[in-house]
Amino acid sequence: MDLLKELAERNVSRKGPFLLGGDGELTFDDLLGADRTDISCVRSGDVVALIGDFDARSLSSLLRLIDRGAVLVPLTEATRSEHEYFFEAASVDFIIEGSSIRRRSDVRGAHPLLTRLRESGNRGWFCFPPVQRADRRRSCMISPILSRGIELRVPRCER
């Protein structure tokens, strides 16, 4: 599957932007023409933290990671002070930022929900809801994406 190409083909008649933001707008042509980060080392079921702020390269990488069957941990620059927590809580295998990709060497055992998602063969993503900084307990949610069959509706994955 080539999700980016499929989305671009479905929207070929729409030349306008599909994403508008404070920094401008993006079209599917922008994503198709974006510099590509080499993600060939990512395998299905790997957990990948993608750090980016809605730029063409990051969104192109996100769609290509879905194609590869990765479990996504989308992060923004605004949450940089929390990234190490997110990496540990989600058992992140790879971190992608801009054109660089690095493998984490200190990955601990996977959360049971992550194990279940991997066993199902589905793609997925971690979502970390905002909490007050004074609240040291963080929660996350893991959800399958673009999949059929398994439903994981468990709201917390404490680490």
Domain CATH number, residue 23: 3.40.50
In terms of pLDDT, which residue wins out, 117 or 139?
117
74 lies in some domain: yes
110 lies in some domain: yes
153 lies in some domain: no
| pLDDT over 70, % of the chain | 78
In terms of pLDDT, which residue wins out, 15 or 34?
34
Does pLDDT of 3 surpass 70? yes
159 lies in some domain: no
Is the overall model pTM greater than 0.85, yes or no? no
Indicate the pLDDT class of residue 130, thresholds 50, 70 and 90.
low
152 lies in some domain: no
11 lies in some domain: yes
Which residue in 87, 119, 80 sits closest to 102, CA to CA?
Answer: 87
103 lies in some domain: yes
Supply the range of the domain harboring residue 126: 3-145
Indicate the pLDDT class of residue 14, thresholds 50, 70 and 90.
low
Does pLDDT of 100 surpass 90? yes
Nearest 5°: the CA angle 76, 79, 81 is 135
State whether the Cα torsion 119-122-126-127 is positive or negative.
Answer: negative
In terms of pLDDT, which residue wins out, 93 or 3?
93
CB 45 within 8 A of CB 35: no
Number of compact structural domains in the chain: 1
Indicate the pLDDT class of residue 146, thresholds 50, 70 and 90.
very low
